């Protein structure tokens, strides 16, 4: 898994990810042997219909044209029947999936509350051991997954559309906090400038006026070059900040919490709660106190 100028060994990478994802025997040893990497992880998030996949497709197309090696993780909603990924990586990135410098992996959320796969941190770390220039992560864009991506990505791109103008006033504070750059996609539509002004005003109120707001038309690749320049600039400025330690802390907390809950049986808890909730002195905090 050492870096070189050759084409990455994607077959080995795919097998390694599967071992980690499925918690094969001694998979922890694989993770413990991975050395720290400065390969940038870029998160793309935002509400459904914002054109995240189309925009990411255009960004990746430019980078592949420059000979860059790209790793792409697509977080898909889980099937309620087999917990697999529903959307399909090849369908969403069909323009590039045969490119020898692009590796695509779809991960199902498998019911993870934040809309991210429960193995996303480990998968990203495995991918960072391979010779990529960039790793991109696209979230489902539902619930709180937009916010959860900030605990994973070095740079978070929040994609909106002009129709989201009315929602800016009530936009979750968390979304305002995690964005490193806002992109108004489909900016050829009416009200794009109105949304830019409204968003800029809201950011100023929140003391976040330094966050850039860009306009793109992803289907025509308009504004994509400017977005790439902004991402590159953010990477350079964030590298020497305390962002890295914050990200590592968030990752550490998630890993520790997950392993502490590893042997916790949800069904047993559900049954115990069902029995306890009918007792006269039941309170939820009283019930969970014995687990703390």
* Domains detected in the chain: 10-261 (3.40.50.300)
CA distance 116 to 15: 21
- In angstroms, the first-to-last Cα distance of the chain is 40
- The contacts of residue 23 (CB under 8 Å, 6+ apart) are none
282 close to 276: Cβ distance less than 8 angstroms = yes
- The contacts of residue 208 (CB under 8 Å, 6+ apart) are 176, 177, 179
Return the H-helix or E-strand segment holding 103.
Answer: strand 102-108
144 close to 113: Cβ distance less than 8 angstroms = yes
Give 237-246's long-range contacts (Cβ < 8 A, gap of 24+): 238/154, 238/155, 238/180, 239/38, 243/154, 244/154
Helix, strand, or coil here: 214? Answer: strand
pLDDT tens profile 68-119: 999 999 886 554 333 344 444 444 555 677 889 999 998 875 544 444 556 7
Q: What angle do CA 57, 170, 219 make, to 5 degrees?
A: 20
Half-sphere exposure of 187 (CA within 13 A, CB side): 22
Q: Which pLDDT belongs to residue 117?
A: 57
137 close to 25: Cβ distance less than 8 angstroms = no
Q: How confident is the model at residue 144 (pLDDT cuts 50, 70, 90)?
A: very low
Centre a 10 Å sphere on the Cβ of residue 37 and count the other Cβ atoms it contains.
17
Query: C-alpha 106: how far from its chain's center?
Result: 12
Average pLDDT over residues 252-269: 80
DSSP type of residue 149 = G
Q: Pick the residue with more confidence: 102 or 266?
A: 102
pLDDT tens profile 48-61: 788 888 999 999 99
Q: Which pLDDT belongs to residue 8?
A: 61
The model scores a pTM over 0.75: yes
Half-sphere exposure of 33 (CA within 13 A, CB side): 10
Q: Is the pLDDT of residue 213 over 80?
A: yes
Average pLDDT over residues 228-254: 75
- Class of residue 242 by CB neighbours under 10 A (exposed 0-12, middle 13-18, buried 19+): exposed
């Amino acid at each position: 898994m050492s870096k070189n100028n050759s084409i990455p060994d994607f077959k080995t990478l795919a097998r390694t990810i599967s071992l980690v994802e499925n918690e094969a025997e001694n998979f922890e040893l694989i993770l413990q042997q991975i050395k720290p990497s400065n390969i940038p992880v870029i998160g793309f998030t935002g509400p459904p219909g914002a054109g995240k996949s189309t925009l990411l497709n255009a960004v990746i197309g430019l980078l592949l044209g420059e000979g860059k090696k790209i790793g792409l993780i697509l977080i898909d909603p889980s099937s309620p029947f087999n917990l697999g990924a529903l959307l399909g990586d090849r369908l969403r990135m069909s323009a590039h999936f045969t490119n020898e410098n692009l590796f695509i992996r779809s991960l199902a959320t498998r019911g993870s509350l934040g809309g991210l796969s429960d193995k996303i941190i480990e998968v990203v770390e495995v991918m960072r051991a391979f010779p990529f220039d960039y790793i991109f992560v696209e979230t489902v864009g539902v619930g709180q997954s937009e916010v959860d991506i900030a605990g994973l990505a070095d740079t978070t791109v929040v994609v909106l559309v002009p129709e989201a103008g009315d929602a800016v006033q009530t936009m979750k504070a968390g979304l305002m906090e995690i964005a490193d750059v806002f992109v108004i996609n489909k900016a050829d539509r009416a009200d794009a400038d109105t949304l830019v002004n409204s968003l800029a005003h809201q950011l100023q109120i929140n003391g976040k006026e330094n966050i850039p707001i860009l306009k793109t038309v992803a289907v025509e690749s308009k504004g994509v070059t400017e977005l790439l320049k902004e991402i590159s600039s953010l990477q350079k400025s964030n590298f020497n900040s305390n962002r890295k330690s914050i990200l590592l802390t968030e990752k550490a907390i998630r890993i520790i919490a997950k392993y502490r809950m590893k042997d916790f049986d949800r069904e047993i808890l559900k049954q115990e709660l069902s029995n306890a909730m009918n007792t006269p002195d039941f309170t939820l905090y009283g019930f969970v106190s014995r687990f703390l």
